[in-house]
Amino acid sequence: MDGGGAESSVVRGSGDGADQARRTSPATFYRQVVAELRKVVWPTRDQLVTYFIVVMVFVTVMMVLVSLLDLALGKLVLSIFGGDKGQ
């Protein structure tokens, strides 16, 4: 690789105003968004409840795992670097 700066196929900010002709109006954009949202396959209530439970169980397990690792590593560091209260 020479790093000489090969030209990208995408030209940004050419400044000739050509990108203004391609812009859509807010109303057209809104209609396109609504049309795309109608294509979405929304989950059923049962699927939503199932996904919610799966996510909550996973998050709870990860919280417990991280908490136990934090506790263990904290005790390890205190034992290595002298967490004696008697001194």
Domain regions of the chain by residue span: 43-82
Cα separation, 41 vs 44, in Å, equals 9
- The tens digit of pLDDT for each residue in 16-63 reads 555 566 888 999 999 999 999 999 999 999 999 999 999 999 999 999
Span 58-84, average pLDDT: 93
> Is the CB of residue 45 less than 8 Å from the CB of residue 53?
no
pLDDT at residue 9, rounded to an integer:
55
Higher pLDDT among residues 82 and 17, named by residue = 82
Cα separation, 74 vs 76, in Å, equals 5
> Is the CB of residue 14 less than 8 Å from the CB of residue 6?
no
pLDDT at residue 24, rounded to an integer:
86
